[in-house]
């Protein structure tokens, strides 16, 4: 997402990694763990509960939301709660790490909240990320699907 936005808007993109768990990849995108100023800020939220006032307040202040989800009942329940609370525009739900065919049940339930994008599990991507290589430099089905989703989301940002 950050690479696509940087390419489209030709602006400084900053990812603010709120989980503080290092990404361990070499990239030309600025990744910070503290709040900083930038042209476009992308907040990468960790899983958090509604009692965490600081993260909830920051989440509610976001103008645009892209939710990354998995095919499991706990994530579905969490997505439903957080997307109902969202004040910002819901641009999409990326259902991540799909093995085989996506489960129709999750596609139907997630689509109630926003447009969904299906990202298949990609062993090559997992191996390269573990080695610290920037995913955008890979020729991978998972990365191609993520880029396609990011371009569509960027188009929706401009509409």
Inter-CA distances, 112 with 8, 38, 137, Å: 29, 33, 34
* Res. 142 pLDDT band, cuts 50 70 90: confident
Q: Are residues 8 and 112 in contact, defined by beta-carbon separation less than 8 angstroms?
A: no
Number of Cβ within 10 Å of residue 10's Cβ equals: 8
Residue 8 scores a pLDDT above 90? no
CA–CA–CA angle 118, 122, 125 (5° rounding): 120
pLDDT number for residue 125: 64
Pairing outcome for strands 64-69 and 89-98: parallel
State the DSSP string of 11-71.
S-EEEEETT------B-SSEEESS----SEEEEEPPP--TT-HHHHHHHHH-SEEEEEE-S
Structure tokens at 58: 């920051």
Cβ(17)–Cβ(35) below 8 Å: no
* Residue 129 pLDDT: 63
Question: Domains along the chain?
Answer: 1-21+33-158 (3.40.50.300)
Complete edge-to-edge strand list for the sheet that includes strand 13-17: 30-32, 13-17, 40-44
Structure-model confidence comparison of residues 54 and 142, the more confident one: 54
From the CB of residue 140, how many other CB atoms can be counted at a distance below 10 Å? 20
What digits encode the pLDDT tens for the residues 28-80? 889 999 888 888 999 999 989 999 999 999 999 999 999 999 999 999 999 99
* Res 120: pLDDT: 87
**pLDDT tens digits for 82-131?**
999 999 899 999 998 788 889 999 999 999 999 999 988 877 666 666 66
Helix (H) or strand (E) run with residue 141 in it: helix 141-158
Phi, psi of 102 (to 5 degrees): -70, 150
Mean pLDDT of 14-30: 87
The pLDDT score that the predictor gives to residue 126 is 66
């Amino acid at each position: 997402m950050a690479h696509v936005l940087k390419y489209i808007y030709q602006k400084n993109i900053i990812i603010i990694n709120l989980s503080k768990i290092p990404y361990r990849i070499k990239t030309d995108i600025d990744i910070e763990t503290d709040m900083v100023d930038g042209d476009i800020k992308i907040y990468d939220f960790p899983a958090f509960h509604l009692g965490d006032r600081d993260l909830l307040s920051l989440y509610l202040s976001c103008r645009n939301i892209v939710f990354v989800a998995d095919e499991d009942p706990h994530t579905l329940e969490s997505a439903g709660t957080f997307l109902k609370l969202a004040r910002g525009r819901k641009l999409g739900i990326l259902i991540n790490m799909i093995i085989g065919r996506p489960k129709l049940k999750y596609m139907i339930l997630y689509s109630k909240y926003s447009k969904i994008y299906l990202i298949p599990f990609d062993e090559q991507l997992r191996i390269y990320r573990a080695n610290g290589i920037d995913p955008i430099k890979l020729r991978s089905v998972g990365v191609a699907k993520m880029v396609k989703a990011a371009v569509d989301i960027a188009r929706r940002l401009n509409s």
